Amino acid sequence: MPKDSNYVRTAEQYAWKLLNYLDDEKKAEKILHEADKIALKINDYKGVARINWNFGILYLRYEKLNEALNSFQKSENYVNKYNLSPNEKQLVYSGLGTYYEFVNQYDNAFKYITQAIELTEKFHLSEYILPAYIIMARMYIPIDVKKYEVYTKKSILLIEKEKNKQARYLAELALSDFYVQKKDYLKSKYHSQKSLFYAKNYCRPASIISSWISLSSIYIRLNQLDSAYNYINMSVKLAEKLNNDFRKADAYASMAMYYEFKKQYKLAEKYNLKTLEIDKKGNYGLGVKLDYDKLADLNLLLKDYKKAHDYRVKSYKLEDSLFSLKLSTSVNRLEKEKQEANLKLLKLENENSIFQRNVFLIVGILSILLGIISIVLIINRNKYKKLEAEQRLRNQIAADLHDEIGSTLSSISILSEIVTFQQKKGDSKLEIMQQVSNDAREVIDKMDDIIWAINPQNDSLQNLETRLKSYAIPIFESKEIEFKIDFLAISENIKIDISKRRDIYLILKEAINNLIKYSNSKNAVIEAKLENKFIVFEIIDNGIGFDINAASQRNGLKNMKMRAEKIGATLNINSTISKGTQVILTVPL
């Protein structure tokens, strides 16, 4: 078995060729594993770093995200621990930036891509340098168009300097996209053709598909539909021959765009459904959402309004799910960073313990200064608490607006699109317009609840009673239910904190709704009383009652319990069949 670094270099280069030209990923992975063992055995640190960088690229292509990150981080450890050359560091930072952009962690992506670019420009590097500029430009598209242009133009200047032909292929594709956005289709076509040259001569066959699709989109914009179709058709055939799902999805989406441009909407739908199937199979959430949006648009054009509505609703639901997942991932990452920071702090404290004897003398001097600082902190503490409370309130209002109103506004938006489309076709339907009206009324009511809750003039229990009466009395009277609302046992001077009063009101409101809808009651009592340091609200009816266990999974009851837990309150519901129901909400003052 070879024992020098020459074998490691040759193996690493051959693995790269297998990955990016011969398209034999399994063989590349096997060779990298063998080379890694040898590099470790002979302490070839550059070889270990390079091999793990290749593993990172390979696993990212497989979407094995944990393995990709571990490989890039292992490579980073070696280049830093053994102070390898700027070129090796640039490769690793570019790889990590690619990974973090792929998983939408843009703060880390910016950090590593910036380091890669700084090394390139400081040491005039020339190997695999363009991907960092491409990624940086791409990240700036939604936030700063000028910087997007700056980094794209930098890549134009560096493209002839780049030694890595696969990187030049990626850069040519990126430049084609850049000129499409500029509507300079001749320059865009030039760079797509250049990318096709590199794809055919230096890249794996699947790369050719991206160049063909790029050319087809340009020909569609130039209204040269025959040329566009030829490139798309070749893309579909090659993607299916390679059985590459990622490329098949791209090719099918392009075919759908072609048929939509020709107003053959049924065929466009057919290919969009193929794309959707692949994106679902690959668990590509954002792709699935975009597929739903496109299918909703197509079904509007096909006048299938129900399917259009269903696809749009699926899109909005998935958008919420993706947002929640992203938020959860961010929270987990921050928790991990916090734990790491605590460990570092603990280590620092342990290291400092040997200096404690010398510290005693300093403490005596500092205590006087600390006393002065404490006075200042005490003065400012209330101000900071007030600012924190205001920030919490802002966050709560934002959450309330998203949770309570977002989905209804989405429904209004969807239905309004349908109404607008129908009106253009002279085919308006009264029931859809009525639904828009109902949804709009619901938004107004929810907004009214939020505004009432955040108004500081409504912080007394008396105001809560007034609000509840204004809601309950008209409903009870319309249903001919005898009722009693009694808050008299409690002093009207009791204040209810802004963070609690809306949830209290909504819990009581939901209880009244349930009473009206399900109880068949003829008598109702709503009262509040003070017990020690708690306000106890009770809603009692003499209706038909219900099985608590059977009804506990209803959304209304679950929401009531969640709201009670959020404000530190206790919610008890007692019900007996044929005798009635008692809802008890106990809120700490």
DSSP string of 129-165?
Answer: -HHHHHHHHHHHTTT-HHHHHHHHHHHHHHTTT---H
What are the tens digits of pLDDT across the range 173-188? 989 988 988 889 999 9
Residue 212 has pLDDT above 60, yes or no: yes
Does the structure show a pLDDT above 80 at 281? yes
For residues 401-414, average pLDDT = 52
The average pLDDT across 363-368 equals 45
Per-residue pLDDT reduced to its tens digit, 134-188: 899 888 877 778 888 899 889 888 888 888 888 888 889 989 988 988 889 999 9
pLDDT for residue 357:
41
Q: Encode pLDDT of 422-457 as tens digits.
A: 555 565 555 655 665 666 666 666 666 766 766 666
Residue 45: CB atoms within 10 A of its CB come to 18
List pLDDT tens digits, range 77-113: 999 999 999 999 999 999 999 999 888 787 888 899 9
Strands 523-531 vs 482-486: parallel, antiparallel or unpaired? parallel
Indicate the pLDDT class of residue 114, thresholds 50, 70 and 90.
Answer: very high
Residue-averaged pLDDT of the chain: 78
Q: How far is CA 90 from the centre of its chain?
A: 29
- Domains defined for the chain, CATH in brackets: 324-450 (no CATH), 458-588 (3.30.565.10)
| Cα first-last separation, the chain | 77
Give tens-digit pLDDT for 449-505: 766 766 666 677 888 888 888 888 888 888 888 888 888 666 557 888 777 888 898
Please spell the DSSP secondary structure of 309-332, one letter per residue: HHHHHHHHHHHHHHHHHHHHHHHH
Neighbours of 92 (CB within 10 A): 27
Lowest mean pLDDT among 275-289, 358-372, 454-468, 509-523: 358-372
What is the CB neighbour count within 10 angstroms for residue 243? 8
Q: Helix, strand or coil for residue 209?
A: helix
Rounded Cα gap, residues 120 and 135, in angstroms: 14
Q: Is the pLDDT of residue 337 over 50?
A: no
Question: Distance between CA atoms of 138 and 148, rounded to whole angstroms?
Answer: 7
The answer on pLDDT for 194 being more than 80 is yes
Measured CA to CA, the distance from residue 114 to residue 147 in angstroms comes to 13
Contact 47, 31 (CB under 8 A): no
Under a CB-based contact definition with an 8 Å cutoff, are residues 458 and 467 in contact? yes
Higher pLDDT, 286 or 3: 286
Residue 399 confidence class, pLDDT cut points 50, 70, 90: low
Q: 534: which strand partners?
A: 531, 588
Q: Can you tell me the distance from the alpha carbon of 223 to that of 467, in angstroms, rounded to the nearest whole number?
A: 62
Tally of CB atoms within 10 A around 398? 10
Question: Are the C-beta atoms of 206 and 249 separated by less than 8 Å?
Answer: no
